[in-house]
Each structure stands twice: as C-alpha cells, then as structure tokens.
C-alpha cells in the first residue's frame, strides 16, 4: 500500500470499488456528493515526512535538554536552600531519558494519527488495533506509518465502508449476507437489541457509538459529541423525531436498549454495504444466472479465481498441528498457497486444479497436482486410498461450492476432517451437513472470518470456515 501525501489543499480522489447499481439500488446524485465531501474531509493536514523530521530533530536534542533540566533543578535547589536544608519547597525530579524519549515518540504517533485523519475514517476494529500497536511505542518510520494508516490515506472511502460493514455485520447476521444487499432494505432488521447499555459505559453503548461514528464518517460529518452519546444512552432520543443520523433508541430497566433505524438510514447502509461487497458478486444467485448456468458436474463458466490471502491461510492452519505422514487433498488448489502451508506441517499433499496454468505454478513449487475437473474425479473405493484431511477454497459462484464440498466429503477416511473456506451465505443455504446450533446460536461447524478477509483477492464477500468430520465407522 502506497502512502499518498497531498501537498496542496486539493485531495486526490479516493480509490474504491465501483458503486453497486443493483436491484434498484442505483445511487442518487447525493451519494457522489458524499464521496466528494469525504475526500475533502480527510485531506491530509500535515505531511507524515514532516512529522518524522520534527520527531528526529527533537529526539537528538533530548540528551542536552535533559542535562539542562537537571542543571536547572540543581540551580533551583541551591537558590531555595541554605546548608542543604529545605524549607517548604522540594526540588522536582527530572524524568529519565527513556521516559522522555517514549513520551516524544507517543506524541509523534498521536500527531501522525491526527494528521492523516485516521480516526475520522477508521472503524472500531482498526482504531483498537492501532491503539494496541502504538501503545508498544514502535519506531516512527514511513514503513510503519504505511502499515498502520496507509489504507485510510489511499482509500478513505473503502476504509469507511469497511468500518461500516464491521459495525453492522456484528449487529445482525442479515447484514453479512450480500444477497440481501441486492434487494433493498427488505429483510434487514429495523431494530437491534443491545445489552449492557449503560449511561457511561457498557457493551451496548460502545456499539451505538460505533454505529454513529460509522454513519458520520459515511456522511463526512463530525462524529457525535459526548453529550449526544450521553443523551442517547439516557433515552433522550427515543423517537424518530429525535434521531441522530437516522438512529434512535429506547432504553429499558433491564439494561437493554432497542436501537431503531429509519428507512432512509437502512437504505444508506444497504447501498454502502452493496458498494463494499462489490458490483460483481461471485457467489450471488443473480451473478450466476446472468452467465452460463452450471449443471451436473460441468465446470461453471463464471467461476472466478480468488486466491486465498495469507491471513486466511494463517487462520486455517491454526486448526492443524503436526501432520507428518498424513495424506491431505486440496481440490481447486489454484497456485498452491494452501498447499505451501500444509506441506510445512509435514503432510503429504495432493492438489487437483482445473486450470492448467495455475496447476503449473503449483507444480513449479514442488507440489503434486493433477489437472482435472474435481467434480469428475471419482472418489476412492477403499478407505486406504482416502485422505486424512481435505482442505479447500472452492469456487464461490452461486451455490456451486456445495457440489465441490459434498463431492470432497467422499474422499475422507472414517474420522477424517474437511475444512472449506466458503461464502457466508453457505450458512443460510442449508446445503451442507452440519449439527444444529445450540440455544445460543453456536455451531462449531462454522467459523466466521473477519470482514473483508478476501478483499485483497478482489471480493468483499464475507466468508466462513466450514468444518466436517466423517463418521468414524
């Protein structure tokens, strides 16, 4: 990610995914004004390189400043004492050199954060992540600035949309489904119930604060004041007439609050999430229907290749320990990124890939790969020929993933485990074997991946890891 420095008062246009004109959700002209307002709102106030230069200049002077301060303390002590006896005044103590350097560094990071308008556009998760990293006082370099703030500078709208997606997807599963984003606000919750809604703190209050911040960022407006949040928490915005950014809430004595969304607010959120997920939704029924429809075991003509990003592979591999001597199959292995990680565990991995070019790339890394349509590869008849594990990132198009997963299950030994990276909507389709959720909605067959996990691969579709264990006997 390249950090862009804006030297004039004219900010560069933000890079973002094309707006989705889907299902009657074509954006009105004021959406374009929102984008322009956001670009102006987040123009860099001061160059990161200037802040680094000032920090370095002051850092090299700290030793002399510290020595001068200590000398001033000695002079003060001499001025107010006779014979070394203090009266009412005691000499102050100078901070240590390390304390001074850390304080200067943290001050520089705070200025950097403000200068690039990070907190204006970043979502709650990104702000908390930045808090944790900066608290450790990392070295102030342009590389570290790019790592922490690069996306917020080069793609402010994309960062705002990501924060909005994180907030609303955590409120209700309906907001995770890109299918629902294509049909307007029908099916979206008009309210959510939040627990722990205290006046000063609490889980619910923090969530409302995140909602209001995200909506304010989307509209390129200042975030709500502490007084606004307090009034909302006290139930002073309990009707639509009192709404803040189209949101109002009713607080109850049990500590819960019902947070309501105006229709216009839901429509705004709907459009924003549709834009974030992208205009071409690789696993949406409509996208699949627009192209040649895949039937039986034929390879779908609209299958799109979304390589598995490294953070997703890292999450997937936490489920595995030493796999030495275990036989592992990866259907639709692509260029072998997951196979790389599985090989590092000691596993004996076989890949199957329909695309000859990608198969050649995987083979170039030393992997065993068959070029074939996995759906047409017959499952082994003998348990001895089956696999201890199957790991896969199948095509997302339509419900095509289900054919791949159900076929892959046939390749498992008794007790073998399959893990597949799937679109979030796979949870809703009900096409795969999975235990019923418990009373709290927990189901260990599904593990949600973070919002935007496949953004680097070209899709904003939310994803999950699906786990299936074959019967032992």
Q: What percent of the chain has pLDDT above 90?
A: 38
> What is the arithmetic mean of pLDDT over 234-246?
69
- 201 with 256, same domain: the answer is yes
Task: Tell me which residue range forms the domain holding 230.
Answer: 158-277
SS3 label, residue 44: coil
Domain closes at, from 117, 134, 151: 151
Q: Are 219 and 164 in contact (CB under 8 A)?
A: no
pTM of this structure: 0.63
Asked whether residue 73 is assigned to any structural domain, the reply reads: yes
Domain closes at, from 277, 296, 325: 277
Residue 113's contacts (CB-CB under 8 Å, 6 or more residues apart) are 119, 130, 134, 149
> What is the arithmetic mean of pLDDT over 360-380?
96
Highest mean pLDDT among 220-234, 333-347, 417-431 belongs to 333-347
Write down the pLDDT at residue 162.
86
Which bin fits 196, alpha (ψ -120 to 50), beta or left (φ > 0)? left
Write down the pLDDT at residue 367.
97
Asked whether residue 294 is assigned to any structural domain, the reply reads: no
170 or 99: which leads in pLDDT = 99
Q: pLDDT band for position 176 (50/70/90)? A: low
Average pLDDT across the chain, whole number: 79
Which residues are registered as beta bridge partners of 351? 330, 369
Write down the pLDDT at residue 188.
66
Count: domains in the chain: 3
Tokens of 104: 């200067």
H or E stretch covering 270: helix 263-277
Measured in Å, how far apart are the chain's first and last C-alpha atoms? 51
Q: What is the pLDDT of residues 19-74, one digit of tens each?
A: 332 233 334 444 555 555 555 555 667 889 999 999 999 999 999 999 999 899 88
Residue 293 has pLDDT above 70, yes or no: no
Residue 278 has pLDDT above 70, yes or no: no
> What is the arithmetic mean of pLDDT over 93-109?
92
Asked whether residue 269 is assigned to any structural domain, the reply reads: yes
- 135 with 242, same domain: the answer is no
Q: pLDDT band for position 183 (50/70/90)? A: very low
Asked whether residue 218 is assigned to any structural domain, the reply reads: yes
Closest C-alpha among 329, 276, 278, 338 to residue 307: 338
Write down the pLDDT at residue 247.
80
- 270 with 330, same domain: the answer is no
H or E stretch covering 216: helix 203-218
Q: Are 52 and 104 in contact (CB under 8 A)?
A: no
278 or 152: which leads in pLDDT = 152
Q: pLDDT band for position 357 (50/70/90)? A: very high
- 196 with 320, same domain: the answer is no
> What is the arithmetic mean of pLDDT over 226-252?
73
- 237 with 93, same domain: the answer is no
- 119 with 164, same domain: the answer is no
243 or 21: which leads in pLDDT = 243
Write down the pLDDT at residue 40.
54
232 or 295: which leads in pLDDT = 232
- 231 with 191, same domain: the answer is yes
Highest mean pLDDT among 142-151, 339-348, 389-398 belongs to 339-348
Write down the pLDDT at residue 253.
77
Asked whether residue 42 is assigned to any structural domain, the reply reads: yes
Which string of DSSP letters, residue by residue, matches 409-426? HTTEEEEEEEEEEEETTH
CATH number at residue 424: 3.40.50.150
- 57 with 140, same domain: the answer is yes
């Amino acid at each position: 990610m390249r950090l862009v420095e804006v030297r004039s008062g004219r900010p560069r246009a933000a890079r973002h995914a094309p707006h989705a004109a889907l299902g009657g959700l074509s954006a009105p002209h004021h959406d374009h004004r929102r984008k322009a307002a956001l670009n102006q709102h987040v123009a860099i106030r001061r160059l990161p390189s200037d802040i680094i230069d000032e920090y370095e200049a002051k850092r090299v002077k700290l030793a002399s400043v510290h020595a001068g301060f200590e000398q001033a303390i000695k002079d003060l002590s001499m001025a107010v004492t006779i014979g070394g006896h203090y009266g009412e005044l005691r000499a102050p103590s100078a901070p240590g050199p390390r304390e001074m350097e850390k304080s200067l560094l943290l001050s520089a990071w705070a200025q950097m954060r403000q200068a690039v308008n990070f907190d204006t556009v970043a979502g709650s998760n990104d702000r908390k992540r930045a808090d944790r990293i900066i608290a450790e006082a990392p070295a102030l370099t342009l590389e570290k600035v790019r790592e922490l703030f690069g996306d917020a500078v080069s793609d402010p709208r994309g960062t705002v949309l990501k924060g909005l997606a994180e907030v609303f997807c955590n409120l209700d599963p309906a907001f995770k489904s890109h299918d629902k984003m294509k049909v307007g606000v029908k099916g979206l919750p008009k309210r959510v119930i939040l627990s722990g809604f205290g006046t000063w703190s609490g889980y619910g209050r923090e969530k409302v604060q995140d909602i209001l911040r995200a909506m304010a960022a989307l509209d390129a407006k200042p975030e709500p004041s502490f007084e606004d949040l307090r009034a909302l928490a006290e139930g002073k915005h309990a009707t639509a007439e009192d709404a803040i950014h189209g949101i109002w809430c009713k607080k109850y004595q049990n500590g819960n609050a019902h947070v309501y969304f105006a229709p216009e607010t839901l429509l705004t959120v709907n459009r924003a999430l549709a834009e974030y997920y992208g205009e071409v939704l690789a696993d949406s029924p409509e996208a699949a229907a627009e192209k040649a429809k895949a039937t039986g075991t034929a390879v779908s003509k609209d299958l799109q290749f979304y390589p598995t990003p490294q953070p997703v592979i890292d999450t997937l591999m936490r489920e595995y320990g030493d796999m030495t001597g275990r036989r592992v199959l990866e259907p639709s292995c692509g260029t072998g990124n997951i196979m790389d990680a599985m090989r590092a565990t000691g596993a004996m991995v076989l890949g199957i890939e329909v695309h000859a070019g990608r198969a050649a790339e995987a083979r170039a890394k030393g992997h065993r790969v068959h070029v074939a349509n996995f759906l047409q590869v017959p499952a082994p008849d003998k348990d001895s020929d089956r696999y201890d594990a199957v790991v896969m990132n199948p095509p997302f198009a339509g419900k095509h993933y289900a054919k791949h997963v159900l076929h892959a299950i046939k390749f498992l030994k008794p007790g073998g485990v399959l893990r597949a990276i799937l679109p979030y909507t796979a949870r809703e389709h009900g096409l795969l074997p999975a235990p019923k959720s418990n009373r709290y909605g927990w189901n260990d067959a599904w593990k949600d991946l973070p919002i935007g996990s496949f953004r680097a691969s070209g899709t904003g579709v939310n994803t999950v890891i699906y786990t299936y264990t074959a019967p032992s006997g």
